[in-house]
Amino acid sequence: MQKFLTYTLAALFVGVMPFVGCSDKGAATKTNVVIKPNDTEQQTSEKQNASTDGAKGAAAGFGSFKGKVVMQGTAPQLEALVRKGANIKDADVCAAQDIPNEKLVVGPSGGVANVFVYLQTAPPGAKTTDPPADPVLFDQKGCHFIPHALFVQVGRPLQVVSGDEVAHNTHTKPVRGTQFNAIINKGDRVGVKTTYSTFENQPIPVNCDFHAWMFAWHLPLEHPFAAVTDEKGEFEIAELPAGTHKFKVWHEGAGFLERNLSVTVNANAVTEQEIPYPATKFKP
Amino acid sequence: MGFNPTVKDLFGLEVLAVRSHLILALGGIAASVLAGCGDSPDARFVLNARTLALAPEAQEPVENALNDNFGTPTNLVAWLRLPVNYGGSEGTVERVETDGPTDSFVAKIDGEVADPAIYPEFHWLSGAYAGNEQMPTLAHFDPETNVVSLIETLDPPPKPGDRFLINAGKTLKDGRRLYMTHCVHCHGTSGDGNGPTAKYLNPLPRDYRLGTFKFTSTVRVGQPGDKVRRDDLARIVRNGIPGTYMPSFLLLGDDETVAVVEYVRWLAMRGELEHKLDADLEGDYTIQAVAERIEGKEDPKEIFANLATLVPQTVARASKELDAAWQAAENDKHVIRPTQKRHTVEQDPDSIARGRALFLSAKAKCATCHGVTGRGDGPQTEAVQQGNDKPGLFDDWKHRVQPRDLTTGIFRGGRRPVDIYRRIRAGIKGTPMPPFGNDVLNDGEVWDLVNYVLYIPHLKGESIPAITPEVQSDEKHASN
């Protein structure tokens, strides 16, 4: 009898719990729905605001910006990412020679390579041209990406190829756009073509899912006013409308070195400028 | 030995048990009566971590844009810009009995009308009232006479031919109710995969807000139509995900499944819009970026001036992208279908051996992650990927992922051969599992891999079936 009572009470206790407990307010609350019309037509045009205070409308002429990004101080010596003969995956291909660490490449006169210098948006008065139809080559050789830092115009074909006797899996990690993720067969010189369909606000990482050390940076933009510094730290951006432009300067070890590098370009002239940054800014 | 309590063990001290249960039961009732139910806060959509990293001046317009276009969990906004079936029936005004102010008219309605007490939403699609921000309220519908009665008086009266939506947003509302009953405790109110039980789960519940779903029947990521289809989500809701905490909700009816799938799609689009706003803003407007800009002698007032135009532009562009992307996925041509029929192992006994050779080959590189024995312990699982500070493979949600242990025979995306075919062809979205296009593996090769993968759980320590000399030489060549 007592046992029976116990069971009954226990059952009652369990059975009653959901009823005495508070209802799930989230689900039970009265909900309203408001219909919001498809407001496509009322929306503002997609074009981004100009980043330039310079010439409005037709440009008074065009000039170039030529510069050199320089590190002040001593550049650290980086060890190779992979030593020749190292015991790594696909060693007969990937460890056939040293794989350089390109996180910070500083030339003999302090010039910093792989720095992106760019305008976020096309300046007003710039000539509007279609993106070039010839593809940009993005290569994989000795299990590292060539180039390490790449600017590509939105809509321009990017041809991802391989010169290695192993397969690679090239995988871009854009923030605004959609990923590209494809296997490139060994020695595939035709490779896989892709295009960026939208711009990014800063360079985005690219890796190979098969070889952990492989790493590169891409910057897609909707105009040609961008450059990556070469091994001497030098770059040139041509066909800029005369006026003052505000450039972004970005390096993988530093992030934004500058967001508003103000440069005045005159018609039919080349503005030359050395852009120095202290070594402490660069963290390899 | 083992823990095997009998009823007597549990209720050994019977008298005490009676008392303690009585006390507990009464105490429980008393406690909940005392605590009351009216004080719990309303469900809220939360901002994601990227938005929270923005300066407060930049967070605000993002939050406003989300509220304007999606509302709150209690005041949902059904934004017709997006390819979501919000529900309700369309109708046309047929006859209005008066020239003066009126609250009723005779209508022709395509479909059923549901209870106005639960679904009072009414929206004009055309005519003088279309585009009005204030929506009228449905009071009554008489299916005999087809008379629609509204609570508000219409002055002037609507005209015959005016189109409207009755029970507007019914599917969204139903989906929300079901989601807040069955899904929210794991997937969270915002669909962030961070409901109250999430912290006890491994793998974690899906965070929908990237708009990425792993197991789709659609083409690989980066191609038009790469999003998840309604069919894919409905299959997951019905079958659950084996090997995870996602259970089967087969007991939901068809209509309920449709509603909850639609709500999940809507939450995913909401989350994606937030991420797209973050992507446009975080370059220049994070707390850190703003500090750097002020340090770089920019005028603090000027810094945020641009947001008034930038945010609406992003919303316009992002909604266009969302519309195109989610619609494309529903297009049948973006579903991955094999062009060649699979030969079963009985029809083609060498298939398993060829599949194994491919599994180990330099061409497909499956063993790199899944391991030589398929246990998900390949060398890549311990490598440190560039850009990461920890070893291992990570997904787009920044969680460490283990490649599937193929020896268990548990396949999260489904165990039909075509499911595994699609996992190989499209990859697993949001994870390092890459897609293998026709240029890498032809259909016959993919089916060989499928046959081998389906065979792995049955190996049980036995050696791999003998590889014919021809295949052996292929394998040797491939691994060179």
pLDDT tens, residue by residue, A173-207: 998 888 888 889 889 999 899 999 889 999 999 99
What's the ipTM? Answer: 0.83
Q: Find chain B residues with C-beta within 8 A of A181's C-beta.
A: 220-222, 427, 434-435
- Helix/strand number for chain B, H first, E second: 16, 9
pLDDT value at B468 more than 90: no
The answer to whether the CB atoms of B221 and A179 lie below 8 A apart is yes
- Contact map slice: A 189-218 vs B, CB within 8 A: 192, 194, 201-202, 205, 207, 209-210, 212-215
Is the minimum CB–CB distance between A181 and chain B shorter than 8 Å? yes
Mean pLDDT on A88-111: 89
More confident residue, B84 or A280: B84
- Select from A24, A32, A40 the Cβ nearest to the Cβ of B81: A40
Residue A2: closest CA among chain B residues belongs to which residue?
B14
Query: Quick check: A259 and B293 in contact, CB under 8 A?
Result: yes
The set of residues, in sequence order, having a beta carbon less than 8 Å from that of B416 and lying 6+ positions away, is: none
Residue A44: closest CA among chain B residues belongs to which residue?
B313
Q: What is the pLDDT of residues B230-270, one digit of tens each?
A: 999 999 999 999 999 999 999 999 999 999 999 999 999 99
CA distance A194 to A192: 7
Q: How far is A5 from chain B (nearest CA, A)?
A: 7
Q: Find chain A residues with C-beta within 8 A of B432's C-beta.
A: 171, 209
CA distance A223 to A131: 8
Query: Quick check: B42 and B27 in contact, CB under 8 A?
Result: no
Give the model's pLDDT for residue B170. 96
Size of interface A-B (CB pairs under 8 A): 216
- Contact map slice: B 38-97 vs A, CB within 8 A: 40, 42-43, 68-69, 71, 73-81, 86
The answer to whether the CB atoms of B80 and A12 lie below 8 A apart is no
The answer to whether the CB atoms of A38 and B81 lie below 8 A apart is yes
Report the interhelical angle of B170-178 vs B254-285 (nearest 10°). 90
Query: Which residues are A247's β-sheet partners?
Result: A261
The set of residues, in sequence order, having a beta carbon less than 8 Å from that of B36 and lying 6+ positions away, is: none
Mean pLDDT lowest among B7-21, B355-369, B411-425, B449-463? B7-21
pLDDT value at B15 more than 50: no
The answer to whether the CB atoms of B363 and A44 lie below 8 A apart is no
Query: Quick check: B291 and B59 in contact, CB under 8 A?
Result: no
Is the minimum CB–CB distance between A17 and chain B shorter than 8 Å? yes
Is the minimum CB–CB distance between A89 and chain B shorter than 8 Å? yes
Give the model's pLDDT for residue B375. 92
Q: Find chain B residues with C-beta within 8 A of A23's C-beta.
A: 37
Q: How confident is the model at residue A40 (pLDDT cuts 50, 70, 90)?
A: low
Give the model's pLDDT for residue A19. 45
Could you identify the residue written with the tokens 């193929």?
A: B406
The answer to whether the CB atoms of B77 and A36 lie below 8 A apart is yes
Query: Quick check: A215 and B387 in contact, CB under 8 A?
Result: yes
Percent of chain A scored above 70 by pLDDT? 82
- Select from B17, B135, B364 the Cβ nearest to the Cβ of A34: B135
Could you identify the residue written with the tokens 């800063």?
A: A202
Q: What is the pLDDT of residues A101-148, one digit of tens each?
A: 999 999 988 999 999 999 998 998 898 888 999 999 999 999 999 999
The set of residues, in sequence order, having a beta carbon less than 8 Å from that of A61 and lying 6+ positions away, is: A241, A242, A266, A267, A268
- Select from B21, B226, B316 the Cβ nearest to the Cβ of A43: B316
Which of B386, B400, B433 to mutate to test binding with chain A, by most A CBs within 10 Å of its CB?
B386
Tally of residues, chain B: 480
DSSP secondary structure of B368-410: HHH-TTSSS--GGGTSB-TT-SSSBEE-TTS-EEPPP-GGG--
The answer to whether the CB atoms of B222 and A201 lie below 8 A apart is no
Q: What is the pLDDT of residues B154-199, one digit of tens each?
A: 999 999 999 999 999 999 999 999 999 999 999 999 999 999 999 9
pLDDT value at B318 more than 90: yes
B127: left (phi over 0), alpha (psi -120 to 50) or beta: left
Q: What is the pLDDT of residues B23-73, one digit of tens each?
A: 555 555 555 445 555 556 789 999 999 999 999 999 999 999 999 999 999
pLDDT value at B453 more than 90: yes
pLDDT value at B334 more than 50: yes
Give the model's pLDDT for residue B313. 93
- Contact map slice: B 328-357 vs A, CB within 8 A: none
Query: Quick check: B265 and B212 in contact, CB under 8 A?
Result: no
Q: Find chain B residues with C-beta within 8 A of A165's C-beta.
A: 480
The answer to whether the CB atoms of B296 and A259 lie below 8 A apart is yes
Which residue in A249, A268, A5 sits closest to B15, CA to CA?
A5
In B155-212, which ranges are E strands? Answer: 163-166
In B155-293, which ranges are E strands? Answer: 163-166
pLDDT value at A6 more than 80: no
CA distance B369 to B400: 13
- Contact map slice: B 140-199 vs A, CB within 8 A: 165, 168-169, 172-173, 176-177, 180-181, 184, 189
CA distance B379 to B377: 7
pLDDT value at A8 more than 60: no
Side-chain-facing half-sphere of B274: CA atoms under 13 Å? 31
Query: Quick check: A103 and A253 in contact, CB under 8 A?
Result: yes
